[in-house]
Structure 1
């Protein structure tokens, strides 16, 4: 009996070999991305912001505005978002660095109380010293100053984002025409890219809206409780809302510690309770229902994407984890009719079905 190659049919590698080769390619790609994380992160951030603002330019074009005006509107929108967040963070952290020295004595007092508590429980003095040797007010204050100087030194990355956004804004105006042509010759590719843009835009818009709601409620609650710098902690809640699953935990730690210094353990527990109620109801109960179908990612995959992208790109990767995963899903799954069945495995709900095959090439 003739082999497949002798019969004129292409030889096919065993599925296990294909899986191993694919995994090896993924490892190489991840290593490459991690080595140029300082370049990839800002570029992806500029891309996501351009996608979010692009409907403004399309709306202007439909109403007869010239292309240059639509491109300028997109560019100003992206620049406005970036500059507002950067200036707000810099200003807020500068306030924090100024405020922290006022709590130095209280912080040292709390450390002494912890040391006495552990000593009364029979813990060895050397063990206590090892545990608390690096915990003092001076290092806490220097950490705030280091964070501020680190943000100031991040201007090179900011300049890269602003520069890339400039070119993306100009290219975005004619992108609709290119997609229309692509839809005629490669409808699968066009559909996958469209779903990526729509899913990313929905995720960013919904996360922004709910982030603003959470930020206002958190800042208002902290102001009512008399916690210093409520605007800073509200801004932190807004930013960490883009970090799935663990964003709330990151956002509550600084105001809870400041509440401990300002009013003791009772006030800290009250802050944690208020944050838990607000964020659990909104971020866990309401927000996922709005973005689940658009994103098409299960809770487990969303958390794993957070871990992976944070490891590859750093803090910016944690914020962009979901959009980056949607992009990978578009390039590796949605763009190929033979792999769309994987959507059944990674979607948040069984109602999220693989996209239909417009070219009629999917296997039966």
Structure 2
């Protein structure tokens, strides 16, 4: 009888989960700005705490933070917007030159008795699709940021409410003495993860822009912003971020500079992803490569472009919540990248 009850409970939970996901999918236009605002508020919360140490009133501190966000966002948005417009105008010419490069590659291979069908090579390695991936993601993200006023308004209210959230949860729980520690660990883990990930992503974008500027690659600020955004997606994001500047360098400056750009991106992502980030973040917050790829597909389907960019942070939130739950630890282990220790 207990097994039947357990099965029924599982079906009820799954049915409720599908209903919730369907509601989120239908209400994505409302949910996406809210999720984006929540992540911005979490990232800004350490700054709010820092200003509070200097006895700055909360209202003034929030005004300072929002002004800083607007200043940085407007500056980067202006530069990136101009770069996107120029790049979009030049895109047909770039695509044509890339196809000519592919034709040249097929002809060169034929001289060494390596027969490649030119049309088949172009269709398999379509440069149009390779460049359009990052461009479409930027366009989709820019469409969401069109609601920037609404997002900033939500961020302001979230920052005002942030100190009271813990107290409200404390009052809402039936057994606060036992559960508040888990809630605190959960919130601290999310804050730590997002803060470290944002700093590492920002450093990745700055270093990538500097590399491209040194190699005189066009639109280096644009590609730095792309590297910053896509660094939230480990492994896959770095590959997508590297493709446009590598192909652009191939078209405008030749194979040598293109190879240097590819090598530079490889070094940057190896340094940031395998050395610096794990050192500060620790191994306990890792996700398996399969989970990263599946989360990219799932959150992208559910929330669109923003879901793809925030797929790993969103999955990390789920994983951290499961780690702090006795019933969900087994699923957190499945999501993680750690190898399970063998019993002695």
TM range (shorter): 0.7 to 0.9
Asked if 1:56 corresponds to 2:47, the answer is yes
Q: CA deviation at 1:135?
A: 7.1
Aligned residue among 224, 233, 245 for 2:214: 224
Asked if 1:174 corresponds to 2:164, the answer is yes
Asked if 1:238 corresponds to 2:240, the answer is no
Map 1:19-38 → 2, pairs under 5 A: 19-38=10-29
Aligned residue among 140, 164, 168 for 2:154: 164
- Cα deviations across residues 260-290 of structure 1 (Å, max 9, x unaligned)? 1112334323322221122123213432343
Q: CA deviation at 1:345?
A: 4.3
Q: Please tell me whether the aligned partners of residues 57 and 73 of structure 1 are also in contact (alpha carbons under 8 angstroms).
A: no
Q: CA deviation at 1:250?
A: 0.8
- Using the TM superposition, name which of 24-33 and 229-238 deviates more: 24-33
Q: CA deviation at 1:202?
A: 1.8
Bigger Rg, which one = 1
Q: Please tell me whether the aligned partners of residues 134 and 226 of structure 2 are also in contact (alpha carbons under 8 angstroms).
A: no
2:33 aligns with 42
In the alignment, the residues of structure 2 paired with residue 339 and residue 291 of structure 1 have an alpha-carbon distance, to the nearest angstrom, of 22
- Cα deviations across residues 97-131 of structure 1 (Å, max 9, x unaligned)? 35547657634633654676799977789x65994
Give the match's secondary structure for 1:309: helix
In the alignment, the residues of structure 1 paired with residue 49 and residue 307 of structure 2 have an alpha-carbon distance, to the nearest angstrom, of 29
Unaligned runs of 5+ in 2: none
Q: Please tell me whether the aligned partners of residues 218 and 234 of structure 1 are also in contact (alpha carbons under 8 angstroms).
A: yes
2:100 aligns with 109
In the alignment, the residues of structure 2 paired with residue 292 and residue 344 of structure 1 have an alpha-carbon distance, to the nearest angstrom, of 15
**TM-score, normalised relative to structure 2:** 0.77
- Structure with more of its chain in helix, by fraction: 2
1:282 aligns with 272
- Using the TM superposition, name which of 81-90 and 218-227 deviates more: 81-90
Give the match's secondary structure for 1:227: coil
In the alignment, the residues of structure 2 paired with residue 151 and residue 317 of structure 1 have an alpha-carbon distance, to the nearest angstrom, of 10
Q: Please tell me whether the aligned partners of residues 188 and 337 of structure 1 are also in contact (alpha carbons under 8 angstroms).
A: no
- Quick one: structure 1 residues 109 and 302, their matched pair in 2 at CA, closer, same or farther if it must change by over 3 Å? closer
- Using the TM superposition, name which of 283-292 and 229-238 deviates more: 283-292
- Quick one: structure 1 residues 16 and 321, their matched pair in 2 at CA, closer, same or farther if it must change by over 3 Å? same
In the alignment, the residues of structure 1 paired with residue 133 and residue 266 of structure 2 have an alpha-carbon distance, to the nearest angstrom, of 27
- Quick one: structure 1 residues 115 and 317, their matched pair in 2 at CA, closer, same or farther if it must change by over 3 Å? same
In the alignment, the residues of structure 2 paired with residue 184 and residue 313 of structure 1 have an alpha-carbon distance, to the nearest angstrom, of 33
Measured on the aligned residues, the alpha-carbon RMSD in Å equals 4.1
- Quick one: structure 1 residues 190 and 170, their matched pair in 2 at CA, closer, same or farther if it must change by over 3 Å? same
Q: Please tell me whether the aligned partners of residues 170 and 176 of structure 2 are also in contact (alpha carbons under 8 angstroms).
A: no
2:308 aligns with 318
Q: Please tell me whether the aligned partners of residues 47 and 168 of structure 1 are also in contact (alpha carbons under 8 angstroms).
A: yes
- Cα deviations across residues 186-212 of structure 1 (Å, max 9, x unaligned)? 245533432332222222222222223
2:246 aligns with 256
- Cα deviations across residues 295-336 of structure 1 (Å, max 9, x unaligned)? 3644543443233212211221122123322333455663x4
